[in-house]
Chains A and B, each alone.
Chain A
Amino acid sequence: MAERGAAAQLRWAVFSILAIAVTMAFLFPIYWSFSQSLRNPLDTFTVAGFGIPWVNFEPTLGNWIDQVGTPETMHALYNSTVISIAAAILALLLGVPAAYAVARFQFRTWKNQDITIWFLSQRILPPVATVIPFYLIMRTFNLLDTHLALILINATFVLPFVVVILRQTFLELPVELEESALVDGASYWTAFWRVALPLAAPSMAATGLIIFAFSWNEFLFAVAISSQNVITIPVHIAGAVDTRGVQFWFMGVRAMVAVIPPVLIALIAQRYIVRGLTMGAVKG
């Protein structure tokens, strides 16, 4: 490799620049909203270049102060947080034991992989097919515009992720640990609760974060169910546009408020994302 050192270095430099350019292009839309959120409304369309704060315009926190402090935004943040956390916990409670069952036990009439695919198939189901019956059912039980309705719905919709991701996690744990516990007279529940679960904790935490982000981003059901009390962040954004038209500077702030939590989660749970998004079909 020594004689090709210079050529290899040049290639490394060229491809690095190319990769940086590609990455910047994908970051641009998020960056642009951020840049817009810092602009004085008068600067919206007059900013030159890439709209870099201090270089192309004088940044202000005015939009943030005006927007984030409003009762509507605070309420939406509260709703989104409560609903997403509760849905994640509920889905984990239901999904982790099921994942353990398909990973460890042997099912006969319906084979293990059939059960897994049955769970997985709900992820592929178009949500618009269940939104109308959900709306009618919630109306019947007087649950329209309640946190409970959205918690139940979001838990349902992230449940397959939990089953499929945690199944993979349990499969990768050494079964001998649980088996030796069983030999020592522990029950299956103890083997699961005391031996397998602590080892699966990091994966459970990452899965919890990922499904939190999915519930946070969910819009179709939220807009169908909520009218006043349980306006979530995505519905809040859409509603604000309906009444006032797109005010670019406030839009920037709201988009950032919506995007920052799930994006932070993406960074934290990086290692689990490939597995999470391919439903365990591809190991990342």
Chain B
Amino acid sequence: MRWTSRVRFLFLAPAVVWVLLFTIFPLGYSLFIAFNKIDQTTQVERVKEPVLDEAGQPVLDSKGRPRTKNVVVRNTVTTTEFVGLTNFKRLFTDPQVHEAIKVTLVFVLIAVPIELCLGFLIALLFNRPLMGRSTLRAIMILPIFATPIAMGYSFFTIFYEEGGPLAFTGIPWLSNPNWALFSVALVDIWQWTPFCFLVFLAALQGVPDELLEAARIDGASGPDILFKVLLPLLQPTIIIVLLLRIAEAVKLFDIPFALTGGGPGTATQSFSFLAFRTGLRFFDLGYASAMAYGLLAVVMVVVLLFFRRLRQSYG
């Protein structure tokens, strides 16, 4: 029909302008910051000021001179100095950055595959007739929406090594650097396996029964059906879930913030966490922006790898 009217731009414009203003502009600004060294110095000055009475007249002391008081004046001066690629060069030599990349990478490599596999297995389980299936499914959704920061602290009490509910295992959940990273991954697995489960279940329920029946009649075994029928059919869904999980997992921030504070040492200091601390705790804004751009580049690569698939599913 006539769905080509110019009115379409009016419908689209507010959201586009908004994104340009609140996402693209900040990103550009961030790039500008990354090429600069921003220093904030607070100059503290003591100034003697005459004391005034209510009428605005100077108050005199016993010798007849105006009384003065000391006033502290704080002046925050921000200086911006162009430093070229310095901040980006620092990324390559900073051991903290390398450590944070390693932490994030190990986290992604532990959490994401487990989430997908476990989610798929639970989806297979829930794809059969079960007692109270819809109630159980509803409960399974809850972790996805539970406030990550709150659950981080909640898991802190669960992993507590002296008297927590998992203390009987004798595992140093949070005090050993390797275990601490695994514990962080475990919280993420707890939160996001249900997401993988939910999406895979939706996809499995879309598989026509006749197809499985036909495969069975042809004498296909259980594993045959899984690997030759279900997995190929679900491949597009699996790729989307994988993309979304990787893109989300590399942003890891809330869980280590609450659960371990990045520790012990820097064992669970993820890349986002390091960038946040560098920028907004130590106020090395230029360097933190360079870090953020590093992460952005990685996410872009991941997205581009999946881009064609993504474009198809919105076609």
What secondary structure prevails in chain A residues at the interface with B?
helix
Flag if B244 contacts A18 (CB, 8 Å). no
Q: How many angstroms from the CA of A213 to the CA of B147 in the assembled complex?
A: 9
Q: Which of A32, A262, A273 contacts B165 (CB 8 A)?
A: A32
When distances are taken between beta carbons in the complex, the residues of chain B under 8 Å from A101 are: 8-9, 11-12
Flag if B4 contacts A105 (CB, 8 Å). yes
Q: Which of B12, B140, B285, B314 contacts A26 (CB 8 A)?
A: B140
Q: Which of B22, B279, B307 has the largest number of chain A CB atoms within 10 A?
A: B22
Flag if A124 contacts B149 (CB, 8 Å). no
With A27-B139, A45-B162, A97-B15 as known contacts, state yes or no: A124 contacts B299, CB within 8 Å: yes
When distances are taken between beta carbons in the complex, the residues of chain B under 8 Å from A175 are: 1
Q: How many angstroms from the CA of A119 to the CA of B279 in the assembled complex?
A: 27
When distances are taken between beta carbons in the complex, the residues of chain B under 8 Å from A259 are: 146-147, 150-151
1/0 contact trace for B197-212 toward A, CB 8 Å? Answer: 0110011001000000
Task: Give the interface size bracket for A toward B.
Answer: 35 or more
With A134-B26, A262-B147, A282-B237 as known contacts, state yes or no: A105 contacts B5, CB within 8 Å: yes
**Interface-lining segment among A57-65, A66-74, A197-205, A231-239:** A231-239
A194 proximal to B (CB < 8 A): no
CB-based nearest A residue for B270: A128
Q: Which of B149, B163, B299 contacts A237 (CB 8 A)?
A: B149
1/0 contact trace for A227-265 toward B, CB 8 Å? Answer: 000000110011001000010100110110011001101
- Complex interface residues of chain B between 1 and 40 (CB less than 8 A to chain A): 1-5, 7-12, 14-16, 18-19, 22-23, 26-27, 29-30, 33
Q: How many angstroms from the CA of A233 to the CA of B258 in the assembled complex?
A: 14
Give the interface of B toward A (CB within 8 A): 1-5, 7-12, 14-16, 18-19, 22-23, 26-27, 29-30, 33, 122, 125-126, 128-133, 136, 138-151, 153-158, 160, 162-165, 190, 193-195, 198-199, 202-203, 206, 237, 240-241, 244, 247, 250-251, 253-254, 257-258, 272, 275-276, 279-280, 285, 288-289, 291-293, 295-296, 299, 303, 307, 310-311, 313-315
When distances are taken between beta carbons in the complex, the residues of chain A under 8 Å from B296 are: 125-126, 129
CB-based nearest B residue for A257: B150
A267 proximal to B (CB < 8 A): yes
Q: How many angstroms from the CA of A162 to the CA of B53 in the assembled complex?
A: 59
With A246-B153, A255-B151, A278-B244 as known contacts, state yes or no: A16 contacts B130, CB within 8 Å: yes
A78 proximal to B (CB < 8 A): no
With A19-B133, A219-B149 as known contacts, state yes or no: A126 contacts B143, CB within 8 Å: no
CB-based nearest A residue for B26: A133
Flag if B257 contacts A23 (CB, 8 Å). no
Q: How many angstroms from the CA of A262 to the CA of B142 in the assembled complex?
A: 9
Flag if A23 contacts B136 (CB, 8 Å). yes
A106 proximal to B (CB < 8 A): yes
- Complex interface residues of chain A between 49 and 91 (CB less than 8 A to chain B): 50-51
